[in-house]
Protein backbone atom coordinates (compact mmCIF):
# COMPACT_ATOMS: atom_id res chain seq x y z
CA UNK A 1 0.00 0.00 0.00
CA UNK A 2 2.83 2.38 0.83
CA UNK A 3 4.53 1.66 -2.49
CA UNK A 4 1.34 2.50 -4.43
CA UNK A 5 0.96 5.87 -2.69
CA UNK A 6 4.63 6.63 -3.37
CA UNK A 7 4.22 5.83 -7.07
CA UNK A 8 1.00 7.87 -7.23
CA UNK A 9 2.73 10.84 -5.58
CA UNK A 10 5.67 10.59 -8.00
CA UNK A 11 3.23 10.44 -10.93
CA UNK A 12 1.48 13.61 -9.67
CA UNK A 13 4.81 15.43 -9.44
CA UNK A 14 5.72 14.24 -12.94
CA UNK A 15 2.40 15.47 -14.37
CA UNK A 16 2.77 18.83 -12.61
CA UNK A 17 6.34 19.26 -13.87
CA UNK A 18 5.38 18.29 -17.41
CA UNK A 19 2.39 20.65 -17.40
CA UNK A 20 4.45 23.59 -16.12
CA UNK A 21 7.18 22.89 -18.69
CA UNK A 22 4.67 22.85 -21.55
CA UNK A 23 3.01 26.03 -20.26
CA UNK A 24 6.40 27.77 -20.01
CA UNK A 25 7.38 26.62 -23.52
CA UNK A 26 4.20 27.91 -25.14
CA UNK A 27 4.47 31.15 -23.15
CA UNK A 28 7.98 31.72 -24.52
CA UNK A 29 6.77 30.89 -28.03
CA UNK A 30 3.91 33.41 -27.66
CA UNK A 31 6.27 36.17 -26.52
CA UNK A 32 8.62 35.35 -29.40
CA UNK A 33 5.75 35.60 -31.90
CA UNK A 34 4.62 38.93 -30.45
CA UNK A 35 8.05 40.54 -30.79
CA UNK A 36 9.05 38.93 -34.08
CA UNK A 37 6.70 41.20 -36.01
CA UNK A 38 7.75 44.29 -34.03
CA UNK A 39 9.54 46.70 -36.37
CA UNK A 40 12.19 48.49 -34.31
CA UNK A 41 13.62 50.51 -37.13
CA UNK A 42 10.44 52.16 -38.38
CA UNK A 43 10.27 55.93 -38.68
CA UNK A 44 9.29 57.45 -35.33
CA UNK A 45 5.87 59.05 -35.03
CA UNK A 46 5.16 62.47 -33.62
CA UNK A 47 7.61 65.32 -33.11
CA UNK A 48 10.79 63.22 -33.02
CA UNK A 49 14.07 64.91 -33.92
CA UNK A 50 17.41 63.47 -34.97
CA UNK A 51 19.90 63.54 -32.10
CA UNK A 52 23.23 63.24 -33.88
CA UNK A 53 23.73 65.17 -37.07
CA UNK A 54 27.35 64.33 -37.82
CA UNK A 55 28.31 67.51 -39.68
CA UNK A 56 27.29 70.10 -37.09
CA UNK A 57 29.02 73.43 -36.43
CA UNK A 58 30.43 72.26 -33.08
CA UNK A 59 31.90 69.04 -34.52
CA UNK A 60 35.15 68.47 -32.58
CA UNK A 61 36.77 65.96 -34.85
CA UNK A 62 37.32 62.26 -34.45
CA UNK A 63 40.51 62.47 -32.38
CA UNK A 64 38.98 64.79 -29.78
CA UNK A 65 35.92 62.57 -29.50
CA UNK A 66 38.13 59.51 -29.03
CA UNK A 67 40.14 61.26 -26.30
CA UNK A 68 36.91 62.27 -24.56
CA UNK A 69 35.71 58.68 -24.81
CA UNK A 70 38.87 57.38 -23.11
CA UNK A 71 38.83 60.11 -20.45
CA UNK A 72 35.29 59.26 -19.42
CA UNK A 73 36.19 55.60 -19.12
CA UNK A 74 33.27 54.36 -21.16
- What burial class does residue 16 get, using C-beta atoms within 10 Å of its C-beta: 0-12 exposed, 13-18 middle, 19+ buried? exposed
* pTM strictly above 0.75: no
Q: Is the pLDDT of residue 71 over 70?
A: yes
Number of H helices, E strands in the chain: 2, 0
Cα–Cα distance between 35 and 40 in angstroms, integer? 10
Q: Is the pLDDT of residue 18 over 90?
A: yes
Which position has the higher pLDDT, 60 or 61? 61
Cα–Cα distance between 26 and 3 in angstroms, integer? 35
Amino acid sequence: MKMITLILHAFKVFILFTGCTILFYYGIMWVNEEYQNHHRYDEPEGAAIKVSGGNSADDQGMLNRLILFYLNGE
